[in-house]
Structure 1
Amino acid sequence: MPKIARIVCFLIALSCIGWLGVAQAEVTLTEAWVRASNPGQSVGAAYLTLRSAQAVTLVYVETERAGAVEMHSMTMQNGVMKMRSLEELAIPANKPVTLAPGGLHLMLFELASPFKVGEQVKFRLCFKDQQGKIAEQFITMPVKTAP
């Protein structure tokens, strides 16, 4: 077999390995938006829906517009709203996880400037699959007023 044919076969084999499941799952990110904030406000929030064909875990989020981003949950306990930081957020296979006002959300800290309606904010999200591999995805979210 000529050398070029062996190289082509090798490249095809490598691409098949990825196709058979070695490649990392992609998470579908929809309904994404950032809540507009007021001048002087040092915190903000972002929301979106995540869906994946494979079970994955959201382990890290960042944006240049905030000093830190945390995943948070909000629950009502005895008439009091409680918010807590989450180390990671599980995304079950084929089940959407919705981050929305009053529930799960991304909390944005140390804002250098307020989020204004019409702006676009870029985020990097890092997901871990069941084999422990980390994949990153990028999304740009529009800034909107709360519904």
Structure 2
Amino acid sequence: MRKWLAGFAMLALVACTQSPQSGIEVKDAWSPAAPPGAAAIAVYAKIVVHKDDTLLKVSSSRAAVAEVHNTFEEGGMMRMRPVGQLDLKRGEAISLQPGGMHLMLMGVSEPLAPGAALDVTFHFANAGDVTATAEVTAPGEPAH
């Protein structure tokens, strides 16, 4: 009985310390609903890095172009600029959030109403493709 309990305790400990096989988790993805006629929407998420990697690009079947952007202030105005590749280090948790780094989907094929789902694929050098489903929220409504 003791051997069984010791084995079970060891298994439980290993299960708690293992990271996902791909080395990357993309979680809590969401997007605020854009006003009618908008051709661009923002997507936010959290990237948890378990192994060093590089985010090469992002894509979505709902948009002609998808890019990681960073928001910054210049001359008293808030501006956005594409980031390009993003080096990720083990142990980091990158927050893609309003007012900071985020995804921009441009040339959106159709408007997305609150409650809709939006798939975004993150293309990593080592982990490969990781697809996240973003929930579209009503304007001013926080992500669930």
> TM-score, structure 2 length as denominator?
0.76
> Which of the numbers 30, 46, 49 marks the counterpart of 1:52?
49
The 3-state SS of whatever aligns with 1:101 is coil
Counterpart for residue 15 of structure 1 = none
> Which of the numbers 80, 83, 86 marks the counterpart of 1:83?
80
CA distance in 2, matches of 1:46, 1:27: 18
Counterpart for residue 74 of structure 1 = 71
> TM-score, structure 1 length as denominator?
0.75
* 1:103 corresponds to 2:100: yes
Deviation at 1:98, TM superposition (A): 0.4
Larger Rg: 1
Question: Percent of aligned positions with the same letter in both sequences?
Answer: 28
Gap regions ≥5 residues in structure 2: 1-20
Deviation at 1:90, TM superposition (A): 2.2
User: How many residues are treated as equivalent by the alignment?
Assistant: 120
> Which of the numbers 92, 110, 133 marks the counterpart of 1:140?
133
* 1:127 corresponds to 2:124: yes
Counterpart for residue 3 of structure 2 = none
CA deviation profile, 1:65-105 (whole Å, cap 9, x unmatched): 11110110001234221211111122221110100001000
